[in-house]
Structure 1
Amino acid sequence: MKGQYCFFSILAMGLLLGFLIAGVESIGVCYGRDGNNLPSPSEVIDLYKSNNIRGIRLYDANNDALQALRGSNIPVIIDVPNSDVSSLASDSSAATTWVQNNIQAFSQDVSFRYIAVGNELIPSSQAQDILPAMQNVQNALQSAGLQGNIKVSTAVSFGVVGTSYPPSSGAFSSDAVNTLQPIVSFLASNGAPLLANVYPYFSYVGDTADISIEYALFTSPGTVVTDPNSHLNYQNLFDALMDALYSALEGVGGSGVAVVVSESGWPSDGGTAATSQNAQTYVSNLINHVGQGTPKRPGSIEAYIFAMFDENQKQPQGTENHFGLFTPDKQPKYSISF
């Protein structure tokens, strides 16, 4: 289906997203900029507004995007890029400057919601720097009088979960748990969520022998998995992954810590089961589903779809280049059906 545009106009896509999102004000879209053919940040923010998309994740403090977000009331996740985490960890004045330049300067009319200190850095050689950087950013927010409005967290991949089946046995991996335990304590003490990138797509393609595509796409007609410990029933993989993550949090004292899905999506090309039809099915079902929560934790889940555009410079080349909802010329890649 590569290159085949849908019949929907941008207006129709906007009305449709607006309808779906109106009932679940917890859906946003990630704005990645790893491409050389993308619209200007101001055009992109206009596209968010015209499509009534009520949340954005920025992977760095792009000044043009922040300027365009002024007065929009669009909730924002803003990342401290991985390249800056170590300097903010070792130097509290660097964290203060970062907050002053990128948060405080815009805080009057940009709706910052979360600061993600690093993306998928656990486990890595930088993992030890995450918590001190989070603490320094938190202190800088407090000095600016912003700590009540903006929560500091970090974004993790689902790979930090070493045991995911059954969901009630979810546990962090041995190479992640020592880093995550004090981070989870920080989150709990500050009322902040853990940000997690949760992709049923990657779980599915990693184990197509045991995971059906219907289970991954929310299209199974009935229960697929019954947890032998909790006796909870699972009809889709997203819920099973989320509940495994909740169980892992409980295992390190984070039973009160919420999870915000900072990325989730399905590619339309470039890999196994990567088609426009599957991407359309997954995204529309995700939008419809997150309002009800999971078997373990009913209630609305805040989630961010990855991503606004295909990014032609994202590495490694392949599947990662085809997660966009829109083409670089701002046309919707597929419709999201009612």
Structure 2
Amino acid sequence: MDKFICVNVICTIVLISLITVPNRVHGIGVCYGRDGDNLPSPSDVVALYGSNGISNMRIYSPAQDALQALSASGSNIQLIVGVPNDNVQSIASDPSAATSWVQSNIVAFPGVAFSYVAVGNELIPENPGLAQFVLPAMQNIQNAINAAGLQSRIRVSTAVSAAVLSQSFPPSQGAFGPDSMRAIVQFLASNGAPLLFNVYPYFSYRDNSAQISLDYALFQSSGVVVQDGQFGYQNLFDAMVDAAYAALEKVGGSNVRIVVSESGWPSAGGFAASIDNARTYNQNLIRHVGQGTPRRSGNAIETYIFAMFNENQKGGDETERNFGLFRPDRQPVYPISFN
């Protein structure tokens, strides 16, 4: 082949790669909850992710059948795997327990594309009895990851909800409530790990509908609703994420990025829970997160929608059983595009 043509072909391939990588990097994930007695097999679930172009998955415990299905599929689905809340204390107290956990659930599955280990879900500040063990458990898991030589591939974090913020309005005044968050943020910063943040405009709207408009919660406002200094907010999602960014900055975490580890809207079961609202929120979320937030404009947000399925054994309000994008028979609750 002519050298000039060859160079041009290579340049074209590089250019295409540069264009397509950002969409792949920020990715849209979906949380694979398993609180149901009628859910598809893990291999069918992995196939459903693939057929819908869903590139990222979060699981809340290292379920061996799910890890085996991911490994066998060759799908390269990027995975957040959770250390379950009831394992956090033992792992915090015993470094060998952390080593065993990493060996059994990560090292044993070289065919799985692990991206993060989430040490606990919403323990800070919701569960004071276990919250004190989150950081030492993170440290022990990190040491075990390091010992396995996987520290360049897998980051260790914890998932928190908006309850971790003592102040969130306006977003620039965002601040963490628990003192323990300062040390956790320092751990994240020193290890190049993100904060996993569960973001639910639905609950904020449900509990404050007199102050928050539905359009603002659903990404449908036509103009700025909240002006906060130089930043204007047209949707509640951005305001919530930027409140967390402001809180990070206040405790030395300016370089810590946020991964939205859960976000979604129920399609039935309670106030403002409808198929139309759920479809609108989740489709607009997918379209929006590539833009970043006003405080981090242009920085795509890796985001995980909750959840893949309606889960009939999930506790709490009826809405909790109706966050799924799909029914257990793998039919969509409503049409949605992940592109």
TM-score by length of 1: 0.90
Amino acid at match of 2:111: D
SS in 1 for 2:133: helix
CA deviation map 1:237-270 (0-9, x unaligned): 0000111110011111111110000000000001
Greater helix percent: which structure?
A: 2
Deviation at 1:25, TM superposition (A): 4.4
Deviation at 1:190, TM superposition (A): 0.2
SS in 2 for 1:126: helix
* 1:45 corresponds to: 46
State how 1:193-204 maps to structure 2 within 5 Å: 193-204=194-205
Matched, 1:134 2:122: no
SS in 2 for 1:53: coil
* 1:219 corresponds to: 220
Distance in 2 separating the partners of 1:129 and 1:187: 16
Distance change (3 Å), C-alpha of 1:257 and 1:24: closer
Matched, 1:151 2:152: no
Amino acid at match of 1:327: R
Amino acid at match of 2:85: N
Match of 1:88 among 87, 91, 96: 91
* 2:67 corresponds to: 66
SS in 1 for 2:157: strand
Deviation at 1:231, TM superposition (A): 2.5
State how 1:173-188 maps to structure 2 within 5 Å: 173=177, 176=178, 178-188=179-189
Mean alpha-carbon deviation: is it higher for 211-220 or for 250-259? 250-259
* 2:175 corresponds to: 171
- Which has the higher relative contact order, 1 or 2, with Cα contacts under 8 A spaced 6 or more apart? 1
Deviation at 1:22, TM superposition (A): 5.6
Distance change (3 Å), C-alpha of 1:165 and 1:25: closer
Deviation at 1:50, TM superposition (A): 1.2
Deviation at 1:68, TM superposition (A): 1.0
Amino acid at match of 1:308: M
- Supply the RMSD in Å over aligned alpha carbons: 1.5
Structure with larger Rg = 2
Asked whether the equivalents of residues 26 and 300 of structure 2 are also in contact (C-alpha less than 8 Å), the reply is: no
Amino acid at match of 1:94: A
* 1:276 corresponds to: 275
Amino acid at match of 1:224: V
Listed as ranges, the gaps of 5+ residues in structure 2 are 1-21
Asked whether the equivalents of residues 194 and 257 of structure 1 are also in contact (C-alpha less than 8 Å), the reply is: yes
Distance in 1 separating the partners of 2:270 and 2:285: 20
* 1:258 corresponds to: 257
Listed as ranges, the gaps of 5+ residues in structure 1 are 1-20
CA deviation map 1:283-307 (0-9, x unaligned): 0000000000000011100000000
Amino acid at match of 1:163: Q
Distance in 1 separating the partners of 2:317 and 2:66: 26
SS in 2 for 1:101: helix
Distance in 2 separating the partners of 1:111 and 1:23: 14
Matched, 1:78 2:78: no
Deviation at 1:172, TM superposition (A): 1.1
Matched, 1:27 2:28: yes
Distance in 1 separating the partners of 2:99 and 2:326: 36
Asked whether the equivalents of residues 23 and 290 of structure 2 are also in contact (C-alpha less than 8 Å), the reply is: no
Amino acid at match of 1:103: I
Distance in 1 separating the partners of 2:23 and 2:225: 30
CA deviation map 1:133-154 (0-9, x unaligned): 0000000011110111100000
Deviation at 1:179, TM superposition (A): 1.3
Name segments (4+ residues, structure 1) moved above 4 Å: 21-25
Deviation at 1:23, TM superposition (A): 6.8
Asked whether the equivalents of residues 24 and 291 of structure 1 are also in contact (C-alpha less than 8 Å), the reply is: no
Distance in 2 separating the partners of 1:32 and 1:247: 30
Asked whether the equivalents of residues 306 and 324 of structure 1 are also in contact (C-alpha less than 8 Å), the reply is: yes
Distance change (3 Å), C-alpha of 1:24 and 1:335: farther
Asked whether the equivalents of residues 26 and 303 of structure 2 are also in contact (C-alpha less than 8 Å), the reply is: no
Asked whether the equivalents of residues 281 and 336 of structure 1 are also in contact (C-alpha less than 8 Å), the reply is: no
SS in 2 for 1:267: coil
Distance change (3 Å), C-alpha of 1:194 and 1:25: closer
Matched, 1:100 2:99: no
Deviation at 1:336, TM superposition (A): 2.3
* 1:109 corresponds to: 111
Mean alpha-carbon deviation: is it higher for 288-297 or for 40-49? 40-49
Distance in 2 separating the partners of 1:327 and 1:41: 15
SS in 1 for 2:267: coil
Distance in 1 separating the partners of 2:49 and 2:237: 25
TM-score by length of 2: 0.90
Residues matched between the structures, number: 313
Distance in 2 separating the partners of 1:22 and 1:186: 28
